Structure 1
Amino acid sequence: MDDKGITIDLSVQGMSCTACAARIEKSVGKMPGVEAVAVSYSARTAWVQYMPGTIQPSAIMEQIGKLGFKADLPENAKEGFEKERSRLRLRLIVSLLLTAPLLTAMVQHLAPFAQIDLPAILTNPWLQLGLATIIQFVIGLPFYIGAYHAIRSRATNMDVLVATGTSAAYLYSHFLVFNADRTALYAHEVPLYFETSAVVITAVLLGKFIEASVTSRAQQDASGYSKLLNTVVQVERAGVEMEIKTEFVRENDYVIVQAGQIIPVDGIIASGDSEVDESLLTGESVPLAKRSGDQVWAGTKNESGALRIRTTAAGYATMLSRIVDLVRQAQRSKSVIQRQVDTVSAWFVPAMLFLALGTFVIWVTIADPGNWTTAFRCGVAVVLAACPCALGLATPISLVVASGRLAKRGIVVKEAGALERLAQLNMLVLDKTGTLTEGKPKVSSVHTTLGSKQGLMRLAAAVEANSTHPLAIAIRADAMQAGLVPPAAVDFAYTTGKGVEAFVEQRRIGIGNASFAASRHWSFSSPSIQSYAEERQKLGETVLYVADNNRVIGAISFLDTVKPYAKTAVSRLRKAGVTVLLATGDHPAPALSAAQTAGITPTQVYANMLPEDKLKLIDRLKEQDYKVGMAGDGWNDAPALAAADVGLAMGDGTDAALTAGHITLLQPRMTALPEALLISRLTVRNVRQNLTFAFIYNAFIIPFAACGMLQPWMAGTAMAFSSVSVVGNAIRLGSRLRKVAGQF
């Protein structure tokens, strides 16, 4: 819970199109105590943020029920979706069986079958009436219920179109059966449209069943992480091993994980050695050697030896659960394209109803005056041809597929809009330490003019005792390796991106870069220190000065190697039309050395950059109309990550990276950058293909229907399968993305 309330995920059954999702959002969003709401038709879920003191989940679920839908808790989502699909399958089968006899009337109108003699009973108008009535008001009852609830809420959806079009065809035919001349009726000289209403309902049901089946498959692919969530674990308490549910595991519990099992918690290995496969969490295919003291994560697989793990997080607190939440967050969020499509879809159905009425009027008054049959047929065809579902599904289904595939590669997208913006990227700013380089620098050499090198490292380790900066970690590691015991330090004063000072043994000890030394007006005890710094920097190393009471007494140099495949990644980004810059707080010499190794030209290197300088650089590039991305470690680069069009936080296996940027790379591999870019562009291209098809379909099919060139049953069938084709194209995206993964 936060100051904005708490959130709940609900499964929603009974939605027929994206207009239903929009109606739920609008209605629930108006409820007192509801802070935010997002409903996904493709995922059949609703996300609600509410104030518990004002409203309860039961009231929210009740409100959704009043709209004609069924809301349930997320643990029942899969079961509810399968029940809905089973009911849809049953309705489809019965509808197919009852529609088959009615098709005979339609078959006789086709030239190749005109001479075939069919049993008279099959073309009997009273049999057609009976079968059509069952299909219309029993099988098709949910369409009427959905249309009623939509109109009651002063909205429209696909149910309104289906109910209107099929009712018109059925009622017109019903009227003719009871009022037409009996001789003409039995001679089939009176045009009946019972087969039209029946075929349309059957086709819509078939399309929705195929759509539900394909969408279910896409959802399963996207929610692959759920397979990694253990429900039962082996825990050691007071020397006794017991089996308990994961949600009952507490911090500092010891969990036993045998070889071949999925690790159920985040924790530190207390005892045991093994190799752990983290591929499903980070995208790295090579198992990592783990031993006592190493961090492990829920969802990874213990490959060899047994491990005894001290729990640091379990259940919903694990990094895996947080990733699952972020993937769901991305899938329920809306991109700019989707919001625009939603705006169009809101007026689409009313517009089509008015167009159908206009078509009827034009035919009966101008095109073919007095021919009510033709006018009616064309008007009904327009209603049945109109399809808002293809438009509504075009974006979200592709985003579901893409976000799931990215997550399996260790690339977590937090919002749908970030994926869309990433596809437009033409400028990428890289941080150096932890992004371009390994981020694990080591002490290369130490120079001092006062005392021993061990004494200097002892003081430096004391000042850097609490820092999480990579250079501070390197200092402490070197001191520990040398067996040094740093003295206590107090009164720390940090300057982000520059250095730190503290009192150690009653002396003011400082450590920092040249900029920090200048800002503190440190004096140098010997020119040799500056000469040493210049020599080490020429070698591409980073240098920090150590001062005692504002007098520099030595310097420490660090070496941080460039990541493997960094040059390949930069090359691929350039081929994709992205200019790569390097912005670092480091000295120009090591920055240029790292850039040269990675294939970044010297003119694209910015050194001695403080966090605020990186932020200004991002803003300046955006003012020049570049679409700017920033890739950093998620700590000092947080302002720049937030300001960029797309912030890519390079993780290091810790959950801290999940809080920074718009996209998180769990495994800080450089090749993930061009991979994410390629996937985003393929996804946006797929969305545009879907939208293009949906618009072209409506632009072509509706005029044909209005001009009398389509029978109503043809228009209705085409409408049903237009959304299926959009979903199918999104699934095709999934296969393409799997091939992309093999390239990186």
Structure 2
Amino acid sequence: MSHSSGTTSCVKIKTSAPDSVNTLSTPSATVNVDQKTVREAPIIEIDIENGLVESHHIILSVQGMDCTTCETTLHRVLESLPGVQHVQVSLLLSQAEFDLKESVNLHCGNVAGIINQRTNFKCSRVSFGGAALDLVVIGCHQDYLDGYPDGIEKVTRVDDKTIRVYYNPSIIGARSILSHPFFHSAKLAPLSASLNTSTTRAQLYKTAYLTIISALLTSPVLIMAYAPLPKNGLVYGAVSLILATTVQFGVGGFIYVSALKALIYSRLVGMDMLVVLSTTIAYVYSVIAFAYLCEGRPLNPEGFFETSTLLVTLIMVGKTASGLARQKALDTISVESLQTPTARIANFPTQEDAFLDARLLEYDDILTILPDTSIVTDGLVISGDSEVDESLITGEAAPVPKSSGMPVIAGSLNRSGILKVQVTRLIHENTIKVVGSMVNEAKKSKPKIQEIADLVAGRFVPAIFIITLLVFGIWIGVELQRHDATIGDAATSAMTYAVSVLIVSCPCAIGLAVPMVIVIASGVGARRGLILKSPEAIEIARKITHVVFDKTGTLTQGKLSVVAEEIMEGMSMKIDSVILAITSSSKHPISVTIASHLSESGVQPLQLQDLVSVPGEGIEAKLDETCIQAGNPYWLGVEKTKAVCAVLAAGLSVFCVTIDGELVATFGLQDILRPDAIQTIDSLKRRSITVSMISGDNTAAVEAVATQLSIPIHCTRARCNPADKQAYIKGLNASTKNIVLFCGDGTNDAVALAQASIGVHMNEGTDVARSAADVILTRPSLMRIITLIDLSKASYRRIVLNFVWCFVYNTLAVLISAGAFEGVHPHFRIPPQYAGVGEIISVLPVIFLAVTLRWSRL
């Protein structure tokens, strides 16, 4: 995190409302998360020189960034502003965030305007964690923007028809806002995508549109330049001039703006500046040459419009490919897809259940949660008994019993009973929102493979400028001495050499050296069961030092099986038929497994009476006057019996059956290891990669699996919630030498997947985990992790070879274009009209090297 220069020493304290730190609790997990209140919490700085200074944390969504040079430019602009501190810019999320002191004459609107002026980026403020409603109003009158009622923090205009109302839900509720006379003509706006995603998508569409236009306009210019057409220079020149002008300034105009602003305000000279100079010189010379042609005094060469148009088109293709990769990477919106859009509310005046938009919920509303439905938002059970699948927190399949007074969390699934839940957190601050924010925060620290190309270009561009000037100066002297020419003639001749150097050294090959390999590698990975969502995974997978696995559903198949059973014999009734009858009545995973196990053995169930499910404990029923109970050994009071202790000691899940209080059956259940789990871990160890396992399961079960897989016990962690997993990964990442891969499948793994250097998701898992991962395994094979490492090594070798080729090509091309070998042969040079062909010559080997990945043995 960077700090602006010239700031004074201070102590920073972030203030917040008493409820700004929320604790999401379940019987098995507690996660502490820092939530923003409705009014963004101020930061109080104790300035040694000026006393107390209040500042606010600002988050901006930025449209227009498409490379790391853009990221650096924005970072420098923000750091140069007075009162702006702690700047952090994310190209992936299209965001900039910083602290802004209130004591300076700046506010968010000023900052956005300055950014637009100095970078040409468009910014809009993002409000995370605050309560806000988007309302559609007729005409969007100015009256709505001031004079609003108590509890409304502010009202801003989203577009011509929509306003955004920021409010304090502890003072005024969402439904109260809609019913207030002040908003008499307003109605709730339709749901829309997140600002980050919509910003990135809008930029991608714009870039792709310009790329298509550029390609369509460039094609005729290339045909007229290279095709064997009848001689008609004036007509071809006139048409090429019109098309090239449109491409140069209509399509490529934004490149001029970004290059000049980066130079003026940030003192950065990037590839955009080289593109601007080379295309501009080629275009201007071609215009001058066409003017001479019209006067009947053609120059030699006559012009080369095809060079400038082709170069702009290739640059646009690269920007579109880069934007598409970032759009695919920005999938954290899937976290919010867990949010149920509607709620069944029970506290309307009629006391009848009704459905309404979840955005209109208010504190203390009473929700009716039916069986097999998702819980809308965090709340407290006030009546009813049920079991709830809370894999969002625990990651384990076993449902958690819920009864009056117990908390429930958003996104979890109610299983059996009907619950009445009192709302304690609204959808802008619930568990789903918290997990999404944590995933976003972790993604900000991802490495960027394109920095390699930018680093090379950062030294390449100034070198080409210097070489061009030297070539121009040297050839003026040479021409004056060789032919006794005038200064004008010498300058014209020298310019052709200088322009050739600029054009032939175009950085397109450098720009494609990385993304071309990534594109091909993505296709190769897909054919081998890998979906590569993040290009960074290819660059760093070859350097992995630690692989951390989740247990359930990752190293294991997530499918329980009966591995131990003891059924008493000699009783008057058929025990296995009784067990099948009572387990068949429940949908609990353990009951389903045992019922399936007995059914496969040909057992036939009996008819039981008075079947009752006891959430979190088990099932009870009657057979005539006999009481039959099945479930948790602690509930049945048989946990100290010899048979149960033996199963517990083996690290298995235990299921018991009693008849009139006497233990008659004990089952031990175990998850099944994936067939290639042992092979994968052995392969990783042979590569000197440290293997760890982390899980929300109990210690005995975790250690039992670790023993089977030969994972050291000190490399395991049990009973971990999402925050624990994130902390563990973060601890491993503390060393800059470590590259950590985390492989998981559950929603509770989402934060760890995002925090790791590379997050790998088993495709059988949840959408939330899939959205946070960098790599998805489309086949249930852990050996694909080895494939990922090998693919990364193969890709890296090709990237290195591409850069070597770029260096060799540019060195030879510059020397030839500069006329360095004319002493060997007088025509041994590349004139400007053919220098553009060098673009193809430089790019083809880059493409060829990338394509050879298709035949690599991985």
Asked whether the two chains share a fold, i.e. TM above 0.5, the reply is yes
Q: Look up the match of 2:796.
A: 688
Q: Look up the match of 1:466.
A: none
Segment of structure 1 superposing worse, 699-708 or 297-306: 297-306
Q: Look up the match of 1:499.
A: none
Question: Which of 164, 177, 201 is matched with 2:312 structurally?
Answer: 201
Do 1:268 and 1:292's aligned partners in 2 also have CA atoms closer than 8 Å?
A: no
Compute the displacement of 1:141 (Å).
2.4
Q: CA deviation digits over 1:309-362, x for unaligned, max 9?
A: 565655244443334334433443242866666544443432333344455567
1:58 aligns with 2:109: yes
Identify if the C-alpha distance between structure 1 residues 23 and 422 changes in structure 2 by more than 3 Å, giving closer, same or farther: same
Question: Which of 500, 506, 525 is matched with 1:378 structurally?
Answer: 500
Question: Which of 322, 332, 353 is matched with 2:434 structurally?
Answer: 322
Question: Which of 175, 182, 187 is matched with 2:288 structurally?
Answer: 175
Cα separation, 1, equivalents of 2:727 and 2:208: 52
Please tell me the residue identity of whatever aligns with 1:218. K
Cα separation, 1, equivalents of 2:219 and 2:537: 49
Question: Which of 121, 125, 129 is matched with 1:69 structurally?
Answer: 121
Cα separation, 2, equivalents of 1:315 and 1:399: 40
Q: Look up the match of 2:810.
A: 702
Q: Look up the match of 1:45.
A: 94
Q: CA deviation digits over 1:355-381, x for unaligned, max 9?
A: 444555677778998753651442132
Cα separation, 1, equivalents of 2:344 and 2:730: 41
Compute the displacement of 1:169 (Å).
0.8
Cα separation, 2, equivalents of 1:566 and 1:328: 31
Question: Which of 466, 482, 491 is matched with 1:354 structurally?
Answer: 466
Cα separation, 1, equivalents of 2:261 and 2:544: 43
Compute the displacement of 1:149 (Å).
0.5
Compute the displacement of 1:159 (Å).
2.5
Please tell me the residue identity of whatever aligns with 2:494. W
Q: Look up the match of 1:103.
A: 222
Please tell me the residue identity of whatever aligns with 2:99. Y
Question: Which of 6, 13, 25 is matched with 2:63 structurally?
Answer: 13
Do 2:278 and 2:499's aligned partners in 1 also have CA atoms closer than 8 Å?
A: no
1:117 aligns with 2:117: no
Cα separation, 1, equivalents of 2:551 and 2:218: 67
Please tell me the residue identity of whatever aligns with 1:233. A
Q: Look up the match of 2:302.
A: 191
Cα separation, 1, equivalents of 2:253 and 2:386: 62
Q: CA deviation digits over 1:590-625, x for unaligned, max 9?
A: 9986655x142xxx755xxxxxxx5xxx8xxxxxxx
Do 1:263 and 1:297's aligned partners in 2 also have CA atoms closer than 8 Å?
A: yes
Compute the displacement of 1:227 (Å).
4.0
Q: Following superposition of structure 1 onto structure 2, how do residues 409-448 of structure 1 map, counting pairs within 5 Å? A: 424-425=543-544
Please tell me the residue identity of whatever aligns with 1:193. F
1:155 aligns with 2:268: yes
Compute the displacement of 1:251 (Å).
6.3
Compute the displacement of 1:574 (Å).
0.9
1:572 aligns with 2:680: yes
Compute the displacement of 1:71 (Å).
1.5
Compute the displacement of 1:45 (Å).
0.1
Q: Look up the match of 1:234.
A: 344
Q: Following superposition of structure 1 onto structure 2, how do residues 509-548 of structure 1 map, counting pairs within 5 Å? A: 540=650
Identify if the C-alpha distance between structure 1 residues 123 and 242 changes in structure 2 by more than 3 Å, giving closer, same or farther: same
Please tell me the residue identity of whatever aligns with 1:146. S
Please tell me the residue identity of whatever aligns with 1:151. L
Compute the displacement of 1:150 (Å).
1.4
Please tell me the residue identity of whatever aligns with 2:72. A
Q: Following superposition of structure 1 onto structure 2, how do residues 228-307 of structure 1 map, counting pairs within 5 Å? A: 228-237=338-347, 239-249=351-361, 253-256=365-368, 264-266=376-378, 298=410
Q: Tell me, what secondary structure is at the counterpart of 2:506?
A: helix
Q: Following superposition of structure 1 onto structure 2, how do residues 548-587 of structure 1 map, counting pairs within 5 Å? A: 563-565=671-673, 568-576=676-684, 577=686
Q: Look up the match of 1:713.
A: 836
Cα separation, 2, equivalents of 1:52 and 1:266: 35
Segment of structure 1 superposing worse, 669-678 or 348-357: 669-678
Identify if the C-alpha distance between structure 1 residues 638 and 386 changes in structure 2 by more than 3 Å, giving closer, same or farther: closer
TM-score (norm. length: structure 2): 0.53
More helix by share: 1
Cα separation, 1, equivalents of 2:434 and 2:519: 22
Q: CA deviation digits over 1:555-603, x for unaligned, max 9?
A: xxx999764317852432112336777899xxx999986655x142xxx
Alignment gaps of 5+ in structure 2: 1-13, 15-33, 35-40, 44-55, 127-193, 483-489, 566-615, 618-631, 653-665, 733-737, 770-776, 818-829
Compute the displacement of 1:205 (Å).
3.3
Q: Tell me, what secondary structure is at the counterpart of 2:88?
A: strand
Segment of structure 1 superposing worse, 303-312 or 224-233: 303-312
Cα separation, 1, equivalents of 2:345 and 2:840: 57
Compute the displacement of 1:165 (Å).
0.7
Compute the displacement of 1:59 (Å).
4.2
Alignment gaps of 5+ in structure 1: 445-472, 485-528, 543-557, 607-613, 619-629
Q: CA deviation digits over 1:384-432, x for unaligned, max 9?
A: 3455644686899999999x9xxx99x9x9x999998776456668999
Q: Tell me, what secondary structure is at the counterpart of 1:117?
A: coil
Q: CA deviation digits over 1:40-77, x for unaligned, max 9?
A: 1xx46024142575675434423321322112346444
Q: Look up the match of 1:459.
A: none
Do 2:59 and 2:96's aligned partners in 1 also have CA atoms closer than 8 Å?
A: yes
Identify if the C-alpha distance between structure 1 residues 330 and 541 changes in structure 2 by more than 3 Å, giving closer, same or farther: closer
Q: Tell me, what secondary structure is at the counterpart of 2:248?
A: helix
Q: CA deviation digits over 1:171-225, x for unaligned, max 9?
A: 222333445794342xx8642122322332344334434554x336624666444
Cα separation, 2, equivalents of 1:272 and 1:591: 30
Q: Look up the match of 1:27.
A: 77
Do 1:256 and 1:307's aligned partners in 2 also have CA atoms closer than 8 Å?
A: yes
| Number of residues of Structure 1 aligned to a counterpart in Structure 2 | 599
Segment of structure 1 superposing worse, 635-644 or 382-391: 635-644
Q: Tell me, what secondary structure is at the counterpart of 1:208?
A: helix
Do 2:93 and 2:444's aligned partners in 1 also have CA atoms closer than 8 Å?
A: no
Identify if the C-alpha distance between structure 1 residues 326 and 568 changes in structure 2 by more than 3 Å, giving closer, same or farther: same
Cα separation, 2, equivalents of 1:431 and 1:220: 24
Do 1:232 and 1:246's aligned partners in 2 also have CA atoms closer than 8 Å?
A: yes
Cα separation, 1, equivalents of 2:78 and 2:742: 34
Q: Look up the match of 1:218.
A: 328
Q: CA deviation digits over 1:86-141, x for unaligned, max 9?
A: 5545545654565455435412xx6xx2xx325565234x5544554444344432
Cα separation, 2, equivalents of 1:10 and 1:725: 41
Q: Tell me, what secondary structure is at the counterpart of 1:50?
A: strand
Segment of structure 1 superposing worse, 360-369 or 47-56: 360-369
Segment of structure 1 superposing worse, 367-376 or 349-358: 367-376
Cα separation, 2, equivalents of 1:91 and 1:71: 21
Cα separation, 2, equivalents of 1:656 and 1:82: 23
Segment of structure 1 superposing worse, 315-324 or 716-725: 716-725
Do 1:385 and 1:705's aligned partners in 2 also have CA atoms closer than 8 Å?
A: no
Identify if the C-alpha distance between structure 1 residues 716 and 300 changes in structure 2 by more than 3 Å, giving closer, same or farther: farther
TM-score (norm. length: structure 1): 0.59
Do 1:342 and 1:392's aligned partners in 2 also have CA atoms closer than 8 Å?
A: no
Q: Following superposition of structure 1 onto structure 2, how do residues 438-477 of structure 1 map, counting pairs within 5 Å? A: none
Do 2:345 and 2:354's aligned partners in 1 also have CA atoms closer than 8 Å?
A: yes
Q: Tell me, what secondary structure is at the counterpart of 2:296?
A: helix
Cα separation, 2, equivalents of 1:396 and 1:35: 33
Segment of structure 1 superposing worse, 688-697 or 266-275: 266-275
Please tell me the residue identity of whatever aligns with 2:269. T
